[in-house]
Structure 1
């Protein structure tokens, strides 16, 4: 397979991974989500601390416990690049649902993800989420849309 075909195949597989993760989050399927992350993944989430080295299962369970019902997601402006066994994607992601306090949550934020192909499977090895903030008051901006 030539480099262009390999890169295109990787892009298709990573886009499927992103879509599968959205379905797994909607279904609260921890196993399906965690199965797509490397054991040594480093993440930069919206919530503290600044950097996470492991502990993904516990953070995922805590996040799920903050919502009642399904957690909905969609992506926009997805870009994927791959070369060899390394790839990255960036996109805008929307997450919405009802909090356990009964409040409707709905926000767009930025996601950059790095992948490594291990044994023929793409795994997330690094993920960075960031939300836009009001630079004057430091509060999250929930009204931003692509």
Structure 2
């Protein structure tokens, strides 16, 4: 199996684990030295434990079904390093039964060690209006 196929499989495993709200399965995909620029709450998360706490909180925020759809996935890889980016439609159902979702931009970096690909960096973001400072959650591809 080539690197791009392996990364595509990892991305699909990641998406399925989030949909299943399986924090342990999500965390198994990250390197211990993960640095994430997530779009929620903090400027950055360093290390698995900090990011695990964040993921656990995210799962609890939406007790209903999750939305986690990936579009326009593009992967560039070598033997040891890979990069991917995509548009993600993500969100979930809150305790009132309301669906809350938006489109985000995602970039992920992967490193292969001892035959195992892991996520070493992730960046989730949403565009914003520079004049008002408002996040543009209503944009669609």
TM-score (norm. length: structure 2):
0.92
1:22 matched to which residue of 2? 15
Instruction: Give structure 2 stretches of 5+ with no counterpart.
Output: none
1:87 matched to which residue of 2? 82
Between Structure 1 and Structure 2, whose CA radius of gyration is higher? Answer: 1
2:63 matched to which residue of 1? 68
- 1:66-106 deviation line (CA, Å, top 9, x unaligned): 10222121111111011120111011111032123543211
Secondary structure at the counterpart of residue 127 of structure 2: coil
Which consecutive segments of 4 or more residues in structure 1 shift more than 4 A?
Answer: none
User: Within 1, Cα distance between the matches of 2:96 and 2:54?
Assistant: 19
Aligned length: 139
**Aligned with residue 43 of structure 2, among 34, 38, 50:** 50
Instruction: Give structure 1 stretches of 5+ with no counterpart.
Output: 1-7
- 1:107-143 deviation line (CA, Å, top 9, x unaligned): 0111110000011111000111111112222122121
Preserved contact between residue 25 and residue 72 of structure 1 (Cα < 8 Å): no
User: Within 1, Cα distance between the matches of 2:97 and 2:66?
Assistant: 13
Mapped pair 1:124 → 2:119: yes
1:144 matched to which residue of 2? 139
- What is the root-mean-square deviation in Å for CA atoms of aligned residues? 1.4
Mapped pair 1:96 → 2:117: no
Trace 1:104-115 onto structure 2 (pairs within 5 A). Answer: 104-115=99-110
